[in-house]
Amino acid sequence: MEIGGRKMTVAENLHLGFNTTVNGMGIVFLVLIVLWAVIVVQSKLIFYFSEMFKKSKPVDNLPINTDKIEIERNAIIDDETLAVIMAAVSNNADIPLSRLQFNSIKAL
């Protein structure tokens, strides 16, 4: 290889090759670090927004005894209304429908 009309020595060629290698590797690692930072920021943003849009439970719920729920049932309440009440209580108290047993329901 010639620079300025003179031949480069082996030492100069090695030096030029070393500089090119170091610069290339530096650029590659710099780009990898930037990509890593972008992925970290994206994952934090996705986690933040997914937590923000999760279904939140109402704060004003009182604790419910999950062993037994006493509700009196009159002839006024039909089976559909009873099913709706059971579903609402089950959903609100996080009790499976199979564990609920209503002894009685009173209409107000």
Instruction: Express each pLDDT in 44-76 by its tens digit.
Output: 999 998 888 776 555 555 555 545 555 555 556
Per cent of the chain over pLDDT 90 is 33
Tokens 């209503």 found at? 102
Distance between CA 107 and CA 103 in Å, rounded? 14
**How many separate domains does the chain show?**
2
* 48, 84: one domain: no
- Over residues 77-98, mean pLDDT: 79
As given in the structure block, the two tokens for residue 89 are 């209580």
* 77, 99: one domain: yes
| Residue 25 structural domain | 2-52
Q: What integer pLDDT is reported at residue 107 of this predicted model? A: 57
* 61, 107: one domain: yes
* 61, 32: one domain: no
